[in-house]
Amino acid sequence: MRHLARPKNWRVRNKLTAVVLVPGLLACFLATLSLSRTIGDAGDYGRFAALARLQRPALGLVHALQDERDATAAFVAGRREGSHGGLGERRAAADTAAVAYRGAAGAVDTSGDPRLRTALRRASEELRTLGELRTAVDQAGLTQGAIVSGYTVMLSRLMDLGPVLVEHNGGGASAQRARALNALSVAVENTSRVRAELNAVLTNGTFLVGQFPDYAGAVARQQESVDDFLATAGQSQRTLYADSVKGTSVSAAQAIQERATEQAQAGRISIEPARWEKVSGRKIEPPALMAFGAGYADADFVKREGSDVEGVCSRFAWSSDLAAHNPAARAVADLYRATYHSPMNDDAARAFTAVMTLAQAVDEAASSSPADIRSALVNLDVPGRDTIMPWDGVRFDDNHQNIGARGVVEQAQKGSYRLVYPFDVARARLRWPMS
């Protein structure tokens, strides 16, 4: 076993292993990169709405069951001595997540899609065995391997939903991004399995017969699944991954893994299980989520998603919140709604302002000559109060860029977007950190 006990001989590169060995970070990164973030436009959002609504509770249940499996592995490895401790809390969290998942799954339309219907049925059937599995844990009715396997099968059924849902919702850029999320979900699951293995090893204080090769193989599967994600993901997803899954917990995880490996032949491993639990439970808690238009600009986005997007910020070029206090902007917005039966948005406001700017230039040029109109445009100086935009005005620099233009930031608060920046025109206070 000596050659296996040296990290440099592992199939998994140390740096990559350290990255994926922090399950809390990786799981939170997956949540950060959830489908709602991948949606590129309002059309995609409409096609993927059902998937987005199911994905969140499904991921929540997967993570809760992974946490319960890890705590169960440590509990069983400790010969089931003492109270359940944190296991009871993990079970309660999994039960809560299961209720949310069942509600979302029940709302999915599976007509015309037998694969999706089958995947949902299999996941539901497997979830019904959770009570029996817990009883076996409490009554010492199964071996540790059988118990961990029971959780793993249950998780596999839930994760089978990912590829089926992507196929159900069609192709396009959002489908590609969703496939990358599915690959990352597999990496999270493989990472959680390693956490369960290491929990049991550290609780026992040693690698039992045959346990080290299993552990090394689990770590190897981590590399394969992360490599698959990196090959599937786009550049923005890979960049966010690199920026998110890092820090002191990564270094601490690497140190614990290497130390456990080096002590594999020593008979005893002198690492406190609580230390690994703390490191592997590290979570990302971003103070805010900033979006840039696209699906987030959909007028019904905040209303449809409700409390799930409370506190999300998005950059806009036009603000209905600000327009309500600008008589001209309010009048134009009311006329637009009456004509097109939908609220005014960034694109409509920009187009309207562009036409009005050109019209003013033609008026000032008092000519139909392109050269005269261009000259009038270059010298135009429109104060912000005479536009419907949240701008300082319309004035073009030597590069023909409007130096009076500026964007605004709105935040989802109680079911609608509220203008929170710039502070001098804000109509609501920015909530920081986001809820």
Angle at 26 between CA 307 and CA 268, to 5 degrees: 135
Q: Is the peptide bond before 57 cis (omega within 30 degrees of 0)?
A: no
Which residue shows structure tokens 């993570």? 63
Angle at 64 between CA 62 and CA 68, to 5 degrees: 115
Residues 24 and 37: their CA atoms lie apart, in Å, by 20
pLDDT at residue 91, rounded to an integer: 93
Tokens of 61: 């249940």
Tokens of 302: 């905040």
Residues 59 and 332: their CA atoms lie apart, in Å, by 43
Which residue shows structure tokens 């806009």? 316
Note whether 340 and 350 are within 8 A (CB): no
**pLDDT by position in tens, the chain (length 435):** 333 333 333 333 333 333 333 444 444 444 444 434 443 433 444 444 555 567 778 878 888 898 888 888 878 877 655 555 578 889 999 999 999 999 888 888 788 778 888 988 999 999 999 999 999 988 887 887 788 888 988 988 887 877 776 665 555 555 666 677 777 777 777 777 777 788 778 888 888 777 788 778 878 887 788 888 888 877 877 777 777 666 677 778 778 877 887 787 777 888 888 787 777 766 656 677 777 766 677 767 777 777 777 888 888 888 888 777 788 888 899 999 999 988 888 888 889 999 999 998 999 888 889 999 999 988 888 888 888 888 888 999 888 898 888 888 888 888 888 888 888 778 888 888 776
Helix axes 273-280, 248-262, angle to 10 degrees: 140
Strand 416-421 relative to strand 408-413: parallel, antiparallel, unpaired? antiparallel
Residues 271 and 17: their CA atoms lie apart, in Å, by 19
327: left (phi over 0), alpha (psi -120 to 50) or beta: alpha
Residues 79 and 52: their CA atoms lie apart, in Å, by 41
pLDDT at residue 92, rounded to an integer: 93
Residues 137 and 154: their CA atoms lie apart, in Å, by 15
Nearest to 191 by CA among 123, 38, 183: 183
Distances (CA, A) of 371 to 126, 368, 428: 73, 9, 45
3-class DSSP state for residue 292?
A: strand
